[in-house]
Structure 1
């Protein structure tokens, strides 16, 4: 099987490539991204491509003629790029890569990274939507994810292949550049204890396992991939032994400014998660993909678990030098 991975340079994309490299039935892997891979790759071929460089992306995709495409080229605001650049790059990557893939004769399936943020958190929206709920994004990132799904579905219709949209819960972990994760790790964290609703999370390793499983499942339709259970922002902060700071209404503007000065910008979708909650029904994904993501409580615990750095003692001979 020949697999094309967009977004291979990110933590998720590189890990997915490593997992596929362990499978001997995957004969060729091609990756493209704006950034180089985050860890070593062994059998994969990587090309650095600007999201807006449509000519180069189309040329690479059509020459490779993938059987499966894993489109992970989604840029989360304030992950590695600012919100404007993230939205522009996400849209450009989806249109160029998926549009080119639709015309590849060997293509058998498309898998795209989406997120539960695409459901939106408008008043009256279901608090735990299943895959049949309508998409009604209420944040720029949610709108970007909905657009990626639309482009993928159109490409799938043209190619006549199934499209799996993985609607992932917010992904956090000790080594992934998640704006929500950075924010929750601040010493003091602004929360809204009067109106906050629970949210679910997904560990970065479980997200990667879901993507690899989806490459083989060839499911046609969306799948919610979420960890069991949910927490509120205050509960998460207390689990991490941080200080919850009550904030209401306009106070969030000041809280966001303070967080940004501390290196943890708070994009609109992250604030929406903290206040309005964000979860979904993941039963179908567990059945189709055969995976059981770790619970949200476990993800929060690992988020705050820092490995200690052991500094070796100098030898006597080195000390004398």
Structure 2
């Protein structure tokens, strides 16, 4: 029997793109995509199963379908997408715990790929110029998606110790952008007037959605990856990105950022959280040598090209 892949988060844009790519892979016999709601987009030859990864029924799916590869993408980066911060944490952390418990019991599982985030490194003025995979954050994220991502990676490491026969890959993505992506950061740069931290100009690194899909597919084909940073070449500062987006900057003292962020969130324009303000102030940059040497990915888009593609798609009305 050939490779059978179980994919979570298939109803979101990136999950659907990965499902289509995996279904088209001649080395994959079957792709099962799971989510709470039916996907609004084409998932190619993948099968859809309406399932909550927090429910024990997932274990039955893994066993009955003899799933050997699990790709976990069901991580929500904003409270808005989850219906609130409590729901976000429950989906991200509790959902991952339940999925890992199901995988631990499924003898057929031999390979796991986890979509994580570079937010685990945090953002602070004490950070190194470039983060490698073996570095710890100088100031660990205390709230939001960064904290969730750190907890999830901790549970994944625990799973790896309990099931040493399962090859585990963790991909730490820089902010993913592209024509089909909508995140708190893309919403931020689409504001008519963009509030920027006065006196700060953080370095930003992006990865194009097409390169993110390629990275996830490659991770299902390779063993011994461990943890890998994934990002496009180069960086942009916040001010450079605002100019490329053809937006007007509004420099604000950081003490005023929280009040402005609350107004922006209440208006439903963007999720301008404290975590994001920290990131925009101090930025983050990733070392991607392992991405090239171990994962075998050469990004087709640089950080600048990925961001310009996002901007161009917005101007076209995509």
Q: TM-score, normalised by structure 1?
A: 0.90
**Matching residue of 1:300:** 307
**1:79 and 1:27, CA in 2 relative to 1: closer, same or farther beyond 3 A?**
farther
Asked if structure 2 preserves the Cα contact closer than 8 Å seen for 1:117 and 1:269, the reply is no
**Matching residue of 2:174:** 169
CA RMSD of aligned residues (A): 1.9
Correspondences of 1:139-288 after superposition (within 5 Å):
139-160=143-164, 161-260=166-265, 261-288=267-294
Asked if structure 2 preserves the Cα contact closer than 8 Å seen for 1:10 and 1:35, the reply is no
SS state of the match for residue 128, structure 1? coil
The structure with more radius of gyration: 1
Cα distance in 2, alignment partners of residues 79 and 111 from structure 1: 25
C-alpha deviation, 1:64, in angstroms: 2.5
Cα distance in 2, alignment partners of residues 296 and 76 from structure 1: 20
C-alpha deviation, 1:138, in angstroms: 4.3
Asked if structure 2 preserves the Cα contact closer than 8 Å seen for 1:62 and 1:101, the reply is no
Cα distance in 2, alignment partners of residues 220 and 287 from structure 1: 10
Asked if structure 2 preserves the Cα contact closer than 8 Å seen for 1:200 and 1:230, the reply is yes
SS state of the match for residue 264, structure 1? coil
* Residues matched between the structures, number: 309
C-alpha deviation, 1:242, in angstroms: 0.3
C-alpha deviation, 1:262, in angstroms: 5.0
Cα distance in 2, alignment partners of residues 30 and 55 from structure 1: 16
Q: TM-score, normalised by structure 2?
A: 0.91
- 5+ long unaligned stretches in structure 2: none
**Matching residue of 2:66:** 65
**1:167 and 1:202, CA in 2 relative to 1: closer, same or farther beyond 3 A?**
same
C-alpha deviation, 1:211, in angstroms: 0.4
- 5+ long unaligned stretches in structure 1: 311-321
C-alpha deviation, 1:249, in angstroms: 2.1
Asked if structure 2 preserves the Cα contact closer than 8 Å seen for 1:128 and 1:279, the reply is yes
Correspondences of 1:66-81 after superposition (within 5 Å):
66-78=67-79, 80-81=81-82
